[in-house]
Amino acid sequence: MFDEISTCENTIVECKDPHITIPTHETINFLSYTILAPISGYLSLMLIIGYIKYPKMRERPGDLILGIAATNLILSFHWFLSERFPDDLGTGCGCLSNGIVAVSAGFANYVYNLSFIFYLQQKLQNLLKQARIIKARFAHIIVIVTTCIFTLFLVFTASIGKNIFGTCSKKFRCESEYGKAGFVMLVYLIYEVAAIWLYYYIKKNFSQALASSNEAERFLDNYRGYLVITTIGWLGIAISTSYSEMKVNTDTWNTIAVGVNNFSKVLQGMVLTVYRYRDPLVRRVMRELMFPCCKRKSRRDSRKRTSQRIGSNQDLLQISPGQSPSARENELKESLLSSGSNSSRDSSTQTNIYERFSNKRKLELTYSVLSSLTAVYQDPSNLAEEMTDLNERVSQKISYNLDQQTIFEMIPTAKSDFESAKCMFTPVQVEVIAPSIFNEITKKEIGSTQIQKSLDFAINRQKIKQDNSGDGGKSGEFFFFTADKRLLIKSISSEEMFTLQNMLEKYYTYLSNNPESFLSRIYGIFKLSWSPFDPPLNLIIMRNICPYPADCVEMRFDMKGSKHDRRVLKDNEYKVPVLLSSKTLKDHDFLKIEQKLKVSEDMKLKLLDILSEDIEFLWRLHLIDYSLIVFIINRAKYLQDGESSPRKASDLSLHDQSWPFYIATEDRPDLCYNIGVIDFLQTYTLQKKMEKNVKKFINLAPNLDTSAQDPTFYKERFIKFLKQILDLSVESLSEIKIDS
């Protein structure tokens, strides 16, 4: 086999049967490869340039569309060059090399289209939980790896060479191969089933959105067109390729097969590229790219509108002391130019059509989540039921089937809120887990009525709109802070849900016996299901550890006691205030900036005692990966802004329930701390063990202090770090080595 490959002679098939030949169809090849292929390649090239030049276009799934366009460009060049230079690229090693390029690009194009379908399905199923969606880099790695494997398989089985369609690709053989013909059809059916299933999934599960939203209808119309184009194209390629494997010796049918295959390949890429120009974002970028004069005209029109607005706002040209009239006019002109340019472009030209629909749907789901939770807490039967047996209370579950009419009856303001946002409530089944347990915890902490006030749909409506573009941070979880900053609604994984339910009885008992614990307080567990096809959304309602406004938070630190990869800022960034206040910093950053918690000696001992008890409790449950979250609050600014005076946490009661509380700093009276232990639902699983060992292997450091460790090591390291930042450790800070 290897000798055949090295000589490159096996790329041309010489059939012993004189009745079986590789037909040549010069007219078909000329029309498809010489005329249409360059057009398809040019359109793909312009699309690629647009994606490279404008980062907004590369937002997912734009990166997958870029991959499809890139492979189509390679195939277009392959077809054109194969037709123009048949002697160089159609025989021997030239044919083998040309065939490898064609096979790689063609297979990658197929996998990218399949990845596009898979991404849309994952995106729509997990709008509120981005962690479940495969990361972009992994999608591209999968495409590259599978393409390499497929291509190498064909190379080492001597399956690349001249085919019946006049190009070098999958080799034409003399013998009939019905098995391979069936395999080609199977590959086509895999794509077709996935694409059609997604179409009907959208129709079935987003019927209300389609009825109430133009964005939803445009999205479905766009996907419908994509489905039709790819279905026809892949079907033509599959049928003609299967026919070539079966070797039916009929000149007429051979000619038809060649024509169907060639035109299907070329026209699918070309038509699909043109169809993508229907997206307003792509259309705007392509118009400005292909016709620069349109861009200049748009700028001139924008400046003209700005001048008119300046002329109609002369009363705004009031000069500040020390400011020249020209400076004030330029300032206003710049402001109006910015706002004018933004308003002159419809929001549809700023994001791709898929992202617009996703954002709209995410807004609807967030509205549905908050209104569902509000309705549940307003149900008196949920709050009134009392149980004496602790095991029964832990296993208690109450289910609600909520539709739009029920929500509107229970929440009078919801109807106007949904209508003003042009949204529809999505019917949902809500399962409330252990409500009796959490009602008791809530009453001790903030009171059940406060939960209802914090979840009030009317006061949170604007907050939902502001947070709708968020993705839940690095973890990809759904986060929502209520408008009054008291509560956090967060999604958790099924593994975390399992852990929480198993530890619930011990968690409740521990908090009852240790009211000063710094473990983050959970006020409710919920499981929301919208469709049997979609995974349920597991939610918890927690007390927000830092209830202060964002502009009063000077710094925040998330610390695990680990040394590896626990640094956020570079050395030259520590003097940039906006970075210090906007980022969640880590262990190394804290030791670099603060070095220790600046509290009184009595408070140090009190903190260490309580936190050590908390960590011991988590260790007994075999939990890891928890963090100490520390907020540094500008209390003077908080009071200056007219907020109610916060209450100081005394030595006797750190958790004074007057809202909000704080821990005073010793060196600066204008600052204070808010601290807590968070993210304590992770067990030491096989995945965490592999994560630890993989990091050690990559860094070639067997003693690497990774975050993931066994529970005993994690506990000991965490307590040692606590003593260090409380300045209670034996070692001095100068003796401790920090990995950068």
Collect all residues with Cβ–Cβ distance below 8 Å to 263 and sequence separation of at least 6: 28, 31, 32, 36, 236
Give me the pLDDT at residue 375, please: 87
Written in H, E and C, the secondary structure of 289-304 is HHCHHHHHHHHHHHHH
Mean pLDDT, rounded, for 484-500? 91
Total count of residues recorded for the chain:
740
Phi-psi label, residue 738: left if phi above 0, alpha if psi -120 to 50, beta otherwise? beta
Share of the chain above pLDDT 90, in %: 21
Asked if residue 612 has pLDDT above 90, the reply is: yes
Band (520; pLDDT cuts 50, 70, 90): very high
**pLDDT digit string, tens, across residues 568-607:** 988 888 888 888 888 899 999 999 999 999 998 889 999 9
Q: Which has the closest alpha carbon to 630: 707, 727, 554, 529?
A: 554
Write down the pLDDT at residue 294: 56
For the record, the structure tokens of 320 come out as 């500040």
pLDDT number for residue 359? 77
Give the per-residue pLDDT at 332: 42
Give the lowest-confidence range in 522-531, 604-613, 695-704. 695-704
Fold of 2-278: Rhopdopsin 7-helix transmembrane proteins (1.20.1070)
More confident residue, 705 or 64: 64
> So what's the pLDDT on residue 15?
45
Mean pLDDT, to the nearest integer, of 119-146? 80
Please report how the helices 37-53 and 251-276 are oriented relative to each other, as an axis angle in degrees rounded to 10: 30
Give the separation between CA 62 and CA 691, rounded to whole angstroms: 30
CATH superfamily for 559-735 is 2-Layer Sandwich (3.30.810.10)
Q: Which of 69, 81, 15, 8 is nearest to 42 (CA)?
A: 69
* Residue 387 pLDDT: 63
DSSP reduced 3-state for 33: helix
Average pLDDT over residues 411-424: 80
d(CA 347, CA 283) in angstroms, rounded, equals 13
Q: Where are the domains of the chain?
A: 2-278, 353-544, 559-735
Lowest-pLDDT range of 211-225, 356-370, 434-448, 712-726: 211-225
Q: CA Rg, the chain, in Å?
A: 32
Whether 631 has a pLDDT exceeding 90, the answer reads: yes
pLDDT at 298: 54
In 625-725, where does DSSP find H-type helix? Answer: 635-640, 686-698, 711-725
Within 530-660, strands assigned E span 537-543, 553-559, 584-585, 623-624, 627-634, 647-648
pLDDT in the model for residue 653:
42
Has residue 627 got a pLDDT over 90?
A: yes
HSE on the CB side for 89, CA within 13 Å? 19
Q: Which stretch of 109-118, 193-202, 314-323 has the lowest confidence by average pLDDT?
A: 314-323
Of 592, 589, 597, nearest to 566 by C-alpha is 589
pLDDT at 54: 83
How many other C-beta atoms lie within 10 A of the C-beta of residue 638? 22
Helix, strand counts (H, E) of the chain: 29, 16
The rounded distance, in Å, linking the Cα atoms of 189 and 658 is 64
Query: CATH for 353-544?
Result: 3.30.800.10
Task: Give 3-state DSSP helix, strand, coil % of the chain, rounded to 5.
Answer: 60, 10, 30
**Higher confidence at residue 204 or residue 595?**
595
What integer pLDDT is reported at residue 305 of this predicted model? 52
Tell me: pLDDT of 557 over 90: yes
* pTM for this predicted structure: 0.72
Strongest mean pLDDT among 86-90, 594-598, 688-692, 695-699: 594-598
3-state secondary structure of 719: helix
The answer to whether 317 and 325 are in contact (CB under 8 A) is yes
List all residues 6 or more positions away from 521 whose beta carbon is below 8 Å from its beta carbon.
Answer: 441, 445, 511, 542, 543
Q: Is the pLDDT of residue 386 over 70?
A: no
**What is the pLDDT confidence band of residue 656, given thresholds at 50, 70 and 90?**
very low
Average pLDDT over residues 291-311: 55
Write out pLDDT tens, residues 316-346: 444 444 444 444 444 444 444 444 444 434 4
List, in sequence order, every residue forming a beta bridge with 675; answer none if it has no partner: 630
The DSSP bridge partners found for residue 555 are 632
Computed from CA positions of residues 46, 51, 52, 54, in that sequence, does the dihedral angle turn out positive or negative?
Answer: positive
Q: Is a pLDDT exceeding 90 seen at residue 738?
A: no
Give the highest mean pLDDT range of 20-29, 82-91, 351-360, 493-502.
Answer: 493-502
Distance CA 426, CA 367 (A): 9
Instruction: Provide, rounded to the nearest whole percent, the portion of the chain with pLDDT above 70.
Output: 76
Mean pLDDT of the chain: 78
Mean pLDDT in residue range 605-624: 94
Structural contact between residues 508 and 395, judged by C-beta atoms closer than 8 angstroms: no
User: In this model, does residue 256 exceed pLDDT 90?
Assistant: no
Give the pairing type, strands 553-559 and 428-433: unpaired
Rounded to whole angstroms, how far apart are CA atoms 96 and 155? Answer: 9
The answer, yes or no, to whether residue 233 has pLDDT greater than 50, is yes
Average pLDDT, stretch 128-139? 72
Helix (H) or strand (E) holding 73: helix 62-84
DSSP per-residue letters across 77-98: HHHHHHHH-HHHHSSHHHHHHH
Mean pLDDT across the stretch 215-238? 82
**Average pLDDT value for residue range 113-141:** 79
pLDDT for 514 = 92
Per-residue confidence (pLDDT) for residue 302, from 0 to 100: 53
Nearest to 106 by CA among 136, 138, 68: 68
**Candidate ranges 351-365, 395-409, 651-665, 689-703; pick with highest mean pLDDT:** 395-409
